Amino acid sequence: MNLNEEVEILKGVPLFAKMEAAKLKLLAFTGERMTFSTDQEVCHQGDPGDAMYVILGGVADVLIDTPTGPLRVAQLKKNGFFGETAILCDAPRNATIRASESLLTLRITKDMFYRLVTEFPTMAIEMMRELAHRVEDTNRKLRDATANKAA
């Protein structure tokens, strides 16, 4: 995949959609491309978070540790991203991310992430919007699970 193809993919990520092409090219150039094979972990729940990832291709499972083993709570595809919460909160990873098929990501370091948010406040707004959607989705799943358990 060349730089221009990566820029086109980044344009499809809501966080970066309003950034100008030159800045996206810089992001694609400075980010680290990482490839993961099927069933390979990208990061593990509880590990320190030092970067976020944008999925350039492939599919990843979002897994939460439970007493009975890992539970898949979501699946991420091209244009998806993860790892931002650990960066924002200086907290350990809140989930394990595992490639469910060959996965190509762009790793964005914590320093680069903060530089982007500072230079592009609209990115911060899109980040908040996405995090709010994820919280609402989690709340919906909890309500559904509670209702099913009570029935």
**pLDDT (0 to 100) of residue 147:** 83
Q: Report whether 79 contacts 11 (CB < 8 A).
A: no
Dump the DSSP string for 67-135: TTS-EEEEEE-TT-EE-HHHHHHT-B-SSEEEESS-EEEEEEEHHHHHHHHHH-HHHHHHHHHHHHHHH
Domain boundaries, the chain: 3-150
CA distance 23 to 17: 11
Residue type, 28: A
Q: What is the mean pLDDT of residues 54-78?
A: 94
**pLDDT (0 to 100) of residue 151:** 67
Q: Report whether 84 contacts 121 (CB < 8 A).
A: no
Q: What is the mean pLDDT of residues 107-135?
A: 84
pLDDT in tens, 3-56: 888 888 888 887 788 788 888 888 888 889 999 999 999 999 999 988 999 999
User: Residue 29: in which H helix or E strand, if any?
Assistant: helix 21-30
Q: Among residues 96, 60, 63, which one has the least CA distance to residue 80?
A: 60
Fold of 3-150: Jelly Rolls (2.60.120)
The overall average pLDDT reported for the chain is 88
96-99 vs 60-64, strand pairing mode: antiparallel
From the CB of residue 98, how many other CB atoms can be counted at a distance below 10 Å? 20
